[in-house]
Structure 1
Amino acid sequence: MSEDADVMEYLRPLATRDASDAWIDYQIIHQSSHGFCMWAVDSRASGKFIGAVGLLHVGFAARFTPAVEVGWRLARQFWGQGFAVEAARAALQFGFEEVRLAEVVAHASIRNARSRRLMAKLGMRHDSAEDFDHPRIPEDNPLRRQALYRLARDAWISQCA
């Protein structure tokens, strides 16, 4: 999945097997420390691995941190079938109802229309005044500018009622 150019178009690459293994190790540590991470997602119908969706503490300093973000990475063959929306909603529900988070954020390259549409479907709100330059992406990289989306627990509860 992480070797697919379409999947990784707007994401920081996991260039090697070691990098991919380190990402999985990080998820295990985050789950152990915080009770949540990017969870593996399988298709109920086929049992096939679809991708990873979940919650993480934002791992860099920015105006909006500390914060918890919702994120996703799905294999290309599963795009457009509602899996990302369903899994992200489940992650948000877990974050707000079980972890009792006051807010969850998400961010993506301002060029990443697919993820930004998903954030809007989740009820997340965007204010362009909060867009930021990702500190881990080089200055000359076109993905550096990120759109920040937010969802407060109260807004989540209102949209679920």
Structure 2
Amino acid sequence: MIETQRLILRPWRDDDLAPFAAMGRDPRVMAHFPTLMNEVQSKAMAVRIMNHIGVHKFGAWAMERKSDRRFIGFCGLSRVEFQAPVKDEIEIGWRLAHQYWGQGYVHEAAHASLAHGFETLALPRIVSFTVPGNTRSWGLMQRLGMDRAEALDFEHPALPPGHPLRPHVVYVKATQSGGS
């Protein structure tokens, strides 16, 4: 568990599944993903995230707001498992319910997640990626001190050639002794 001024990043609970499924049905939250997610897909993703945490002892933690103990999204680290130049790297990623956008929650959670990755897990570098049109996400990557790594950009293998969401841009943050 990681605690920040306003948030708790923690393992997922069963009561997180309904608000997570609601996020997956929200076209604003899912604007840079190929489709909205139904409840079965959302639950399957949450189970994959929970299993990742169980295996690796880190992952995309549930993001809970301290003020009301409400699940508002997720943020954390995960191993990239699909074929891409960043395969087997550790990625920082996030997703936040729309009503909490613009309040600095993801920046707070991502900053703490990066610190955990570098200080606790001793990772040499952490990557992040998104589609070029997702200016909110890559803007956050820049505000977190991540550097654009064009040589690692890729076409997402889960999407067909020509799909508008297939191209992905990559950002990297490395420790002083790590490489980019």
Distance 2:139 2:63 in 1: 20
2:167 to 141, 145, 148: 145
Q: Deviations over 1:61-85 (max 9, x none)?
A: 2123220000000000111100000
Q: CA deviation at 1:130?
A: 2.9
The amino acid across from 1:149 in the alignment is Y
The corresponding residue for 2:24 is: 2
Q: What SS class does the counterpart of residue 95 from structure 1 fall into? A: helix
Alpha carbons of structure 1 residues 11 and 133: separation in structure 2 relative to 1, 3 Å? same
State, as a whole percentage, how many aligned pairs show the same letter: 38
Q: What SS class does the counterpart of residue 29 from structure 2 fall into? A: helix
The corresponding residue for 1:127 is: 149
Distance 2:61 2:86 in 1: 24
Q: CA deviation at 1:103?
A: 0.6
Whether the aligned pair in 2 keeps the contact of 1:41 and 1:49 (CA below 8 Å) is yes
Q: What SS class does the counterpart of residue 63 from structure 2 fall into? A: strand
Distance 2:100 2:175 in 1: 29
List gaps (5 residues or longer) in structure 1: 157-161
Q: What SS class does the counterpart of residue 7 from structure 1 fall into? A: coil
Whether the aligned pair in 2 keeps the contact of 1:14 and 1:20 (CA below 8 Å) is no
Distance 1:100 1:127 in 2: 21
Distance 1:12 1:82 in 2: 26
2:51 to 20, 29, 32: 29
Distance 1:14 1:59 in 2: 22
Which stretch of the first structure deviates more once superposed, 99-108 or 61-70?
61-70
List gaps (5 residues or longer) in structure 2: 1-22
1:90 to 106, 112, 124: 112
Aligned length: 156
Distance 2:60 2:34 in 1: 15
The corresponding residue for 1:60 is: 82
1:136 to 145, 153, 158: 158
Q: Over aligned residues, Cα RMSD in angstroms?
A: 1.6
The amino acid across from 1:127 in the alignment is A
Alpha carbons of structure 1 residues 13 and 91: separation in structure 2 relative to 1, 3 Å? farther
Whether the aligned pair in 1 keeps the contact of 2:24 and 2:38 (CA below 8 Å) is no
